[in-house]
Amino acid sequence: MTIGSPGRGARGPGFFATVLRGYFRLLQILVAALMGLMIVPVTLQIISRYTGLIPRYIWTEEAARFCFIWIIMLGAMIAVREGTHFEVDVLPTPRTARGEAILRLTVYLFMLVFALVFVRYGWQYARFGYTQTSELTGMNLLFIHGAYLLAGLTWVAFLGERIVAAVAVLRGDESALAALRGDPDVAR
């Protein structure tokens, strides 16, 4: 997927698009790995209760919940770039490219407001987490609270990519329409 209108310099949008795609790929790998990893602590918990093979670790529940919260937030980041967050089709889809771009731009700007709330208050929340440690594992809570700040920043980047595409369509570049509609490789 390439975005940005041609003629704005080969380095600018192309470079950012490549970085964002790489970052997106990293998020995909992380979320799949955490999903697999999350099975481990709960399995250990069952094994330790019914057999004497391993001790009853105290950290299993917390480790599982830690994976869980990161899966949710990473998934929420991925879904913004894929355009797969649940939305409702009550209004008819605009017939013109321009109409579609205006509608999508409105949606992205509202989402951007929420993303900026996550950045602004996520920072405060992360700093608050930094002062606390978990009672069970001694882990600094920044590792959990920081997920919101990262989500906010990631959304700003992914939404920025979409907003650039919407503006390009409004300027008459209809080839950016595909980028606006979401990742074509994703089955909705």
Partner 1 sequence: MSPGEVGGIMFGIFGALIVLRVPVAFALGLACLPIFALDDRLTPVLILGEMTKAYNSFILLAVPFFLLAANLMNAAGITERLIDLTKCMVGQFRGGLAQINVVVSMIFAGISGSSTADAAGEGSIIIPAMRRQGYDASFTVAITACSSVIGVIIPPSILMVVWGGVMNVSIGALFLAGFIPGILVGLSQMAAVWIYAKVRGYPVYARATVGEFFVALGRSFFAILSPVIVIGGVVGGFVTPTEASVLAVLYSLAIGAFMYRSLGVGEIGQVLYQTARLASISLFCIGTASAFGWLLAYYQIPRTIIGVLARYGAGVTSVGLIEAAVFLFIGCFIDAVPAIIIIGPLLAPAAQTVGMHPIHFAIIGVVSLAFGLVTPPYGLCLLIDCHIAGIRVSDAIKDVLIILMPMLLALLLVILFPDFILFVPRLLMPKFV
Chain positions contacting partner 1, by CB under 8 A? 28, 31-36, 38-39, 42-43, 45-46, 61, 64-65, 68-69, 71-76, 78-79, 82, 84-91, 103, 106-107, 110-111, 113-114, 117-118, 120-122, 124-125, 128, 144-145, 148, 187-188
Nearer to partner 1, 24 or 164 (CB): 24
Nearer to partner 1, 74 or 169 (CB): 74
Nearer to partner 1, 17 or 102 (CB): 102
Residue 165 CB, shortest distance to partner 1, in Å, is 16
Nearer to partner 1, 82 or 161 (CB): 82
Residue 174 CB, shortest distance to partner 1, in Å, is 21
Residue 147 CB, shortest distance to partner 1, in Å, is 9
158 CA to centre of own chain? 8
Q: Which amino acid is at 184?
A: P
Residue 7 CB, shortest distance to partner 1, in Å, is 31
Q: What are phi and psi of 126, to 5 degrees?
A: -65, -40
Residue 62 CB, shortest distance to partner 1, in Å, is 9
Nearer to partner 1, 12 or 94 (CB): 94
